[in-house]
Structure 1
Amino acid sequence: MDDLAGFLRTRRARVDPAAAGIPVNGHRRVAGLRREEVAHLSGVSVDYYVRLEQGRATQPSEQVLDAIARVLGLDDTECGHLHRLARQPRRRAKAPGGRVRPEQLRVLDLVTGAPAMVMNHRLDVLAGNRLAGLLFGRPLPGLNVARHLFLEEGEHGLYADWDTCTHDVVGHLRLAAGNHPDDPRLASLVGELAMGSERFRRLWARADVRARTHGRKSYRHPLVGPLDLHQENFALPDAPGTELLVLSAAPGTPAEDGLRLLAGLGTEAATGPSTDPSAARSVDPSADPAPAGYR
């Protein structure tokens, strides 16, 4: 799903040679830095850098990788991604399971004034409170935020900042692919998105990586209108890559009124009838087998 050569190639193309101290005389046939220029600026031989970019250099030192990261102007997230890609094959991190502990479900039930969800590294919603179901306007079991964003809602749907969201989601999935290269369900999701969305294919080819982080999230809800919310993420220590996300509204804002109005809506109108109340809160996405992935 992810490879060192593609990542380094796209990062090299971003660097302005003049800003890196490389004299630019006439037309250059490639964007950014050449491989030999990265090698020179990093203090390694051209042959070693070529082998590294091709995945043939085993166990490169942290000093070498940090030097390359500095030349390429990588941020902390990209630098960590480079280290993981350069050290494959290695002991692979096991993909987190899809089970949510009963204690975590109780915590979700305690959050009554804001949408709250448990989400894994694939952006599967594993569990959510009633308000989260009302926000998305559908049952939470089976909801994958990336699929919802690219294949179901589209540019004029629920996500007001659709352009930014698409960059963030693809960057997150790229990062997840580096952390879990052997996860067949993640590979299958990437393949599905690539086949179904031209925008996803273009963004995936950029090889950008982004860490999921807190910040502003804006929605266009069909029943209550605009909702400008703040997303706060809480890592779950017993399930690496899985987080509790809470979407809150600032006091006294239209978004707070909107959430209050949303909370007053009937569950039946937003999520449909269910004979099992717990079914709308928790799902185990690892239960279904996945087809071969996209690489």
Structure 2
Amino acid sequence: MGRNNLLGEYLRACRERVTPSEAAIEWLGPRRVPGLRREEVALLAGISANYYLRLEQGRDRSPSDQVLESLARALRLDATETAHLIALGHPPTGNLRGPRQVDVPASTQQLLRALDLPAFIQDQHFDVIAANTTAHALSPALQPGHNRLLSVFLDPAERALFADWEIVAEHLVASFRASVAAAVDDRRTTQLVTELSARDAHFRELWAGHAVVARIDRPPVRFAHPVAGLLTLTRENLAVDGPTPLRLMIYHAERGSDDHAKLTRLGAGATSPTATS
């Protein structure tokens, strides 16, 4: 996959989503392309049409923050989409291709074991680094050595676990794209996107859509669990302190609710050893 022209691809995808009426642009003759024309985006952003063309074609890859922010306004991007655009406009200069040792802080591992809620730690590629027993009881795929994207798209049992699988899949891909914006050129990202694109048509379609979503956007997740039954849970996404970008994911339900009672029973029956890195 590689970085190639991700900035230009994202600009084009966003341009094609905005209608002339949304941008308050008068229709001038027949339109052969969806969304806005390149010259219309350039006009709205206050840059030359030729410069915008170079950006979209990948011939200029060093736009300033001011230009990127102007383009974000012209394309009606929200805060998450704007941050993603800026990340793509400033590719990392360091070597991101080599393997990286992932160490979960001891205090975080202790917290993971102490929680009676399903909790696991994932890295920026959505590889599961550590998980507690309740997480494993919720899904056997929530354990080290598994990747959330590969599990959700390629494991039939994991797919069946989600009552609204298409919603979960769409949110997962958009979250992943935002997570790896600054590391899209590394080996693990390339491996995941290549494998999923080759094996799952729905992933290919979602990845081509260039959607991104904020970590704070957490719609409830409905599980069709083989033991607990239908569970509607909220997922928290918390940063873990340290040199590696890790996230602590916790599923929970409102105390006193039927979902909380089911989750408590599920946790009480979790007897497998705690899995950690």
Quick check: TM above 0.5? Answer: yes
| Cross-structure match for 2:275 | 281
Give me the whole-angstrom Cα distance separating, in 2, the residues matched to 1:139 and 1:246. Answer: 12
Give me the whole-angstrom Cα distance separating, in 2, the residues matched to 1:27 and 1:138. Answer: 51
1:219 corresponds, among 218, 223, 238, to 223
1:209 corresponds, among 203, 212, 221, to 212
Give me the whole-angstrom Cα distance separating, in 2, the residues matched to 1:138 and 1:46. Answer: 49
Give me the whole-angstrom Cα distance separating, in 2, the residues matched to 1:61 and 1:105. Answer: 41
Give me the whole-angstrom Cα distance separating, in 1, the residues matched to 2:59 and 2:93. Answer: 14
Q: Which string of whole-angstrom CA distances, capped at 9 and with x for unpartnered residues, describes residues 96-116 of structure 1?
A: 64322332211111102x101
| Cross-structure match for 2:247 | 243
Q: Which range moved further: 94-103 or 205-214? A: 94-103
Amino acid at match of 1:108: L
Task: Check conservation: 1:35, 1:50, Cα contact below 8 A.
Answer: yes
| Cross-structure match for 2:127 | 124
Q: Secondary structure of the equivalent of 1:234?
A: strand
Task: Check conservation: 1:215, 1:232, Cα contact below 8 A.
Answer: no
Give me the whole-angstrom Cα distance separating, in 2, the residues matched to 1:30 and 1:231. Answer: 39
Task: Check conservation: 2:124, 2:180, Cα contact below 8 A.
Answer: no
Q: Which string of whole-angstrom CA distances, capped at 9 and with x for unpartnered residues, describes residues 163-199 of structure 1?
A: 2111111112222332112321121011111111110
2:146 corresponds, among 140, 143, 147, to 143
Q: Secondary structure of the equivalent of 1:157?
A: helix
Give me the whole-angstrom Cα distance separating, in 2, the residues matched to 1:28 and 1:127. Answer: 52
Higher relative contact order (CA 8 A, sep 6+): 1
Task: Check conservation: 2:139, 2:158, Cα contact below 8 A.
Answer: no
Give me the whole-angstrom Cα distance separating, in 1, the residues matched to 2:104 and 2:158. Answer: 31
| Cross-structure match for 1:273 | none
Q: Secondary structure of the equivalent of 2:15?
A: helix
Answer yes or no: is 1:40 the counterpart of 2:43: yes
Change beyond 3 A, Cα 1:281–1:154: closer
Task: Check conservation: 1:232, 1:247, Cα contact below 8 A.
Answer: yes
Identity of aligned residues (%): 37
Q: Secondary structure of the equivalent of 2:192?
A: helix
Task: Check conservation: 2:121, 2:129, Cα contact below 8 A.
Answer: yes
Give me the whole-angstrom Cα distance separating, in 2, the residues matched to 1:141 and 1:90. Answer: 30
Q: Which range moved further: 157-166 or 31-40? A: 157-166
Change beyond 3 A, Cα 1:196–1:58: closer
Residue 93 of structure 1 deviates from its aligned partner by 6.4
1:56 corresponds, among 44, 48, 59, to 59
Please show how residues 1-295 of structure 1 align to structure 2 within 5 Å.
1=1, 2=3, 3-88=6-91, 90-91=93-94, 97-112=101-116, 114-138=117-141, 140-153=143-156, 157-213=160-216, 214-265=218-269, 267=271, 277=273, 280-283=274-277
Q: Secondary structure of the equivalent of 1:192?
A: helix
Residue 152 of structure 1 deviates from its aligned partner by 0.6
Give me the whole-angstrom Cα distance separating, in 1, the residues matched to 2:128 and 2:264. Answer: 23
Amino acid at match of 1:98: V
Residue 55 of structure 1 deviates from its aligned partner by 2.6
Q: How many residues align?
A: 272
Q: Which string of whole-angstrom CA distances, capped at 9 and with x for unpartnered residues, describes residues 58-92 of structure 1?
A: 53222211111001011111111111212236346
Amino acid at match of 2:275: R
Unaligned ranges ≥5, structure 2: none
Residue 18 of structure 1 deviates from its aligned partner by 2.0
Give me the whole-angstrom Cα distance separating, in 1, the residues matched to 2:192 and 2:147. Answer: 9
Give me the whole-angstrom Cα distance separating, in 2, the residues matched to 1:123 and 1:18. Answer: 38
Q: Secondary structure of the equivalent of 2:13?
A: helix
